[in-house]
Amino acid sequence: MITFNRVSKTYNDGFTAVKLLNFEIKDGEFLVLIGPSGCGKTTTMKMINRIIPHTQGTISIDGNDINKLDPVMLRRNIGYVIQQIGLLPHYTIEENIALIPKLMKWNNDKIRNRVTELLHIVGLEPEIFAKRYPRELSGGQQQRVGVVRALAANPDIILMDEPFGALDPITREQLQDELLRIQAEMRKTIVFVTHDMDEAIKLGDRIAVMKEGELLQLDTPDKLLSNPAHGFVEEFIGKKRIYQNPEFIPVTDVMRENPATTLPTRTPALAMSFMRQRKTDTLIIGDGNGKLLGIISAYDLQAEKDKIKTVEEIIKPAEIVLEQSATAKEALLEIAHAPFGIIPVVDESRRIVGVVTRGSLLSMFASQWSEEKGEINEK
Amino acid sequence: MRSESLWIQIVQQTQMRWQDLLQALYQHIQLVFFSMLIAIIIGIPLGILITRIKSIEGTVLGVAGILQTIPSLALLGFMIPIFGIGIKTAVAALFLYSLLPIIRNTFTGIKDVNKSTIEAARGMGMTDYQILSKIELPLSLGVIMAGIRTATVINVGTATLAAFIGAGGLGDFIFLGIARNIDALVLIGAFPAALLALCFDWLLGLLERVSTPRGLKA
Ligand SMILES: Nc1ncnc2c1ncn2[C@@H]1O[C@H](COP(=O)(O)OP(=O)(O)OP(=O)(O)O)[C@@H](O)[C@H]1O
Ligand SMILES: [Mg+2]
């Protein structure tokens, strides 16, 4: 666990780049630092391995004040990946990865096995790449080596400063996926700096939003999106982004309230006229307390209307129901399987609060789209 | 007609003095070798030092620069009160004269090593010494060798002036030739000196290429 306790950094010129940081990074956690340029992300990250010494407060790793540790030993247990990659140009790929294990005096067999293993992890065939020099690799391949070089000596912590920032979007996406795969397996404590919100949401277990040297909010991606603690955070995340991620929209935002409901004791004729009036081809059936009983369709009603006394006889159970706390994403996934294309939404005591239909989903996203289009036109 | 007689003269003089010539060549190489050796031993560490201590960078490069702008003969003159007449003075002056290219190339060679390479190395836990010996020096070796090459070539030429203060070398022939007005003698001194410079240039050029790390070559 990495702990920041009232940590500040004032540079020699008197500029305070980060102010009174107080937070913890748990073991095995993927923490993303994000914020506008110059807000102190890099400074915060580099204070952890003492590349930048902090000027106030304490940073400790597993309870040990890092200022009391030998910086070289501290760094050997912390992997380090930077945007510029920084492979040694006069070392082969193999030698680059082996650098720290060698300094730590691992035996040659162990080093060779480790290099082979790591190259396989990032999909670089050792037979082809081990003996090449960095300049004989593409940018994406070089950064793959940069990432596994940081893993080589099996550190518990990895610091990454915009590691994919210089890569083209497709390569970046690939490396993000590989990093997630590696992380799922190795469970390192990762501190990752980016200014790409999409990247932060995709990778982070938690995201720390910084502004002008201060930490504004540190939360899981969905908490951050659903409940930004600060106007700046909301602005920085971008409202639009929330709608690009339906898992962060509550289902109540995409449902139709006041759906056409009726009691099971109604006669077919009454139900028919109610449907006509509400311009719908389904009715939600609830009991006297508004609790969900099922659904009837206009089709069944038409076919059976002469044989039945009340609609109760043709109620179909609602096979798919969503709780109020569900998200729009679940609604999107379920709507295709819902009988009659309608999903009732209920509260904790199964009282009907609304329905999701294809129409309600569509109109929600359509209104988002037209808002966005409006914004673009304004610019 | 005249050139033919010059040619005959050269052959005659060479036959007559070839042992002296070999001796002078040997002395000349010695002057160059020892002055360069000291210049390398002192220049490279100085060059490294000023990459580490920024406050003395200007002074060191400035002094070395001034030393090189002093006319070579004057520099030899300045040395006489300190070391007297002879080889020591010549070596000392040639050493001072060769410092600048070596210090400057060591300095720029190391400064030009990619900052992110060094940052990554430091971040991974390499010590300052490891960064110097495994990264900075190997990566700037080509540039340092180029400085040594430049200094050596200048040195070979300047060393002919050593004869003025009785330090011997190929300059002996040149000055004797001038004093006695024998063109052939001047050429017998000048030609091997030029050849020597070319040889060193070629040899050190080769070394420069060999010492450039493989990963950097196009
Ligand atoms: N060595 C330094 N001396 C003085 N000020 C510095 C120094 N390094 C950084 N700063 C200042 O500290 C602030 C934070 O810098 P930092 O590099 O941490 O920002 P960042 O959030 O990583 O920005 P970016 O997204 O552009 O990389 C900036 O205003 C920067 O100008
Ligand atoms: Mg930065």
Residue B40, in any domain of the structure: yes
The span from the CA of B209 to the CA of B205, in Å, is 6
Residues with Cβ within 8 Å of B1's Cβ and at least 6 positions away in sequence, in order, are: none
Q: Which residues of B touch A99 (CB under 8 A)?
A: 121, 124, 126
The reported pLDDT for the residue numbered A374 is: 52
A224 with A237: CB under 8 angstroms? yes
The reported pLDDT for the residue numbered B27 is: 94
The reported pLDDT for the residue numbered A370 is: 63
Q: What is the mean pLDDT of chain B?
A: 91
Token pair for A22: 């107080």
Q: In this prediction, what percent of chain B has a pLDDT beyond 90?
A: 68
A97 with A150: CB under 8 angstroms? no
Mean pLDDT of A312-340: 88
The span from the CA of A31 to the CA of A38, in Å, is 19
Q: Please name the residue whose Cα sits nearest to atom 25 of ligand 1.
A: A37
The Cα angle at residue A92 between residues A88 and A96, in degrees rounded to 5: 50
Residue B10, in any domain of the structure: no
With 80 as the cut, is the pLDDT of residue B67 above it? yes
Residue B21, in any domain of the structure: no
Taking the Cβ of residue A130 and every Cβ of chain B, the question of whether any pair is shorter than 8 Å is answered with: no
Give tens-digit pLDDT for B18-38: 899 999 999 999 999 999 999
- Measured in Å, residue A40 CA sits from the centre of ligand 1 at 6
Query: Which of residues 98 through 137 in chain B touch A, CB cutoff 8 A?
Result: 114, 116-127, 130, 134-135
The reported pLDDT for the residue numbered A364 is: 73
Strands A282-286 and A292-297: antiparallel
Bridge partners of residue A261, in order along the sequence: A284
Residue entry with tokens 């004032």: A10
Mean pLDDT of A184-193: 96
Model confidence band, residue A318 (pLDDT cutoffs 50, 70, 90):
confident
Q: What is the DSSP annotation of A45-107?
A: HHHHTTSS--SEEEEEETTEEGGGS-HHHHHHTEEEEETT----TTS-HHHHHHHHHHHTT--
Mean pLDDT of A243-258: 80
**Phi, psi for residue A295 in degrees, rounded to 5:** -135, 145
Torsion of CA A178, A184, A189, A192, to 10 degrees: 30
Taking the Cβ of residue A146 and every Cβ of chain B, the question of whether any pair is shorter than 8 Å is answered with: yes
Residue B2, in any domain of the structure: no
Residue B4, in any domain of the structure: no
Q: Please name the residue whose Cα sits nearest to atom 30 of ligand 1.
A: A38
With 60 as the cut, is the pLDDT of residue B46 above it? yes
Mean pLDDT of A293-310: 88
Tally the residues of chain A: 379
Token pair for B65: 């620069």
The span from the CA of A164 to the CA of A114, in Å, is 24
Q: Residue B116: which of A86, A90, A91 has the nearest Cβ?
A: A86
Tally the residues of chain B: 218
B87 with B166: CB under 8 angstroms? no
**Lowest-confidence segment of A97-101, A160-164, A369-373, B84-88 by average pLDDT:** A369-373
The reported pLDDT for the residue numbered A329 is: 86
Residue B14, in any domain of the structure: no
Q: Which residues of A touch B131 (CB under 8 A)?
A: none
The reported pLDDT for the residue numbered A288 is: 85
Amino acid at B29: I
A21 with A4: CB under 8 angstroms? yes
Model confidence band, residue B160 (pLDDT cutoffs 50, 70, 90):
very high
Mean pLDDT of A138-166: 95
Mutation probe of ligand 1 site: the residue of A41, A45, A160 with most atoms within 8 A of C-beta: A41
Residue entry with tokens 């540079």: A11
Mean pLDDT of A39-68: 97
Mean pLDDT of A246-256: 83
Q: Which residues of B touch A150 (CB under 8 A)?
A: 124
Q: Please name the residue whose Cα sits nearest to atom 26 of ligand 1.
A: A37
Exposure b/e, A72-85, CB count within 10 A at least 16 = b: bebbbebbbbbbbb
- Measured in Å, residue A35 CA sits from the centre of ligand 1 at 12
Taking the Cβ of residue A244 and every Cβ of chain B, the question of whether any pair is shorter than 8 Å is answered with: no
**Phi, psi for residue A206 in degrees, rounded to 5:** -135, 155
Taking the Cβ of residue B138 and every Cβ of chain A, the question of whether any pair is shorter than 8 Å is answered with: yes
Instruction: Decide whether any atom of ligand 1 lies within 6 Å of the A11 Cβ.
Output: yes
The span from the CA of A371 to the CA of A240, in Å, is 9
Q: Please name the residue whose Cα sits nearest to atom 27 of ligand 1.
A: A37
Taking the Cβ of residue B54 and every Cβ of chain A, the question of whether any pair is shorter than 8 Å is answered with: no
Q: How many CA atoms lie within 13 A of A146 on its CB side?
A: 30
For residue A147, give the nearest of B74, A155, A204 by alpha carbon: A155
Q: In this prediction, what percent of chain A has a pLDDT beyond 90?
A: 61
Question: Which helix (H) or strand (E) segment is A5 a member of?
Answer: strand A2-10
Q: What is the mean pLDDT of chain A?
A: 90
The reported pLDDT for the residue numbered B2 is: 54
The reported pLDDT for the residue numbered A376 is: 45
With 60 as the cut, is the pLDDT of residue A379 above it? no
Q: Which residue has the higher pLDDT, B121 or B164?
A: B121
Mean pLDDT of A85-106: 95
Instruction: Decide whether any atom of ligand 1 lies within 6 Å of the A42 Cβ.
Output: yes
The reported pLDDT for the residue numbered A237 is: 76
With 80 as the cut, is the pLDDT of residue A239 above it? no
With 90 as the cut, is the pLDDT of residue A157 above it? yes
Residue B48, in any domain of the structure: yes
- Measured in Å, residue A161 CA sits from the centre of ligand 2 at 7
Residues with Cβ within 8 Å of A113's Cβ and at least 6 positions away in sequence, in order, are: none
Distance from CA of A132 to the nearest CA of B (A): 8
Give tens-digit pLDDT for B125-148: 999 999 999 999 999 999 999 999
Torsion of CA A231, A235, A238, A240, to 10 degrees: 70
User: Which residue range(s) make up the domain with B80?
Assistant: 33-212
Give tens-digit pLDDT for A204-229: 999 999 999 999 999 998 888 878 88
The span from the CA of A22 to the CA of A19, in Å, is 9
The Cα angle at residue A245 between residues A244 and A247, in degrees rounded to 5: 150
Task: Tally the domains of chain B.
Answer: 1
State yes or no: ipTM above 0.90: no
Model confidence band, residue A243 (pLDDT cutoffs 50, 70, 90):
low
The reported pLDDT for the residue numbered A83 is: 92
Interface test with A, best of B114, B122, B124, B127 (most A CBs within 10 A): B124
Residue B170, in any domain of the structure: yes
Model confidence band, residue A109 (pLDDT cutoffs 50, 70, 90):
very high
CATH of the domain at B119: 1.10.3720.10
Distance from CA of A66 to the nearest CA of B (A): 14
A7 with A18: CB under 8 angstroms? yes
Model confidence band, residue B1 (pLDDT cutoffs 50, 70, 90):
very low
Taking the Cβ of residue A90 and every Cβ of chain B, the question of whether any pair is shorter than 8 Å is answered with: yes
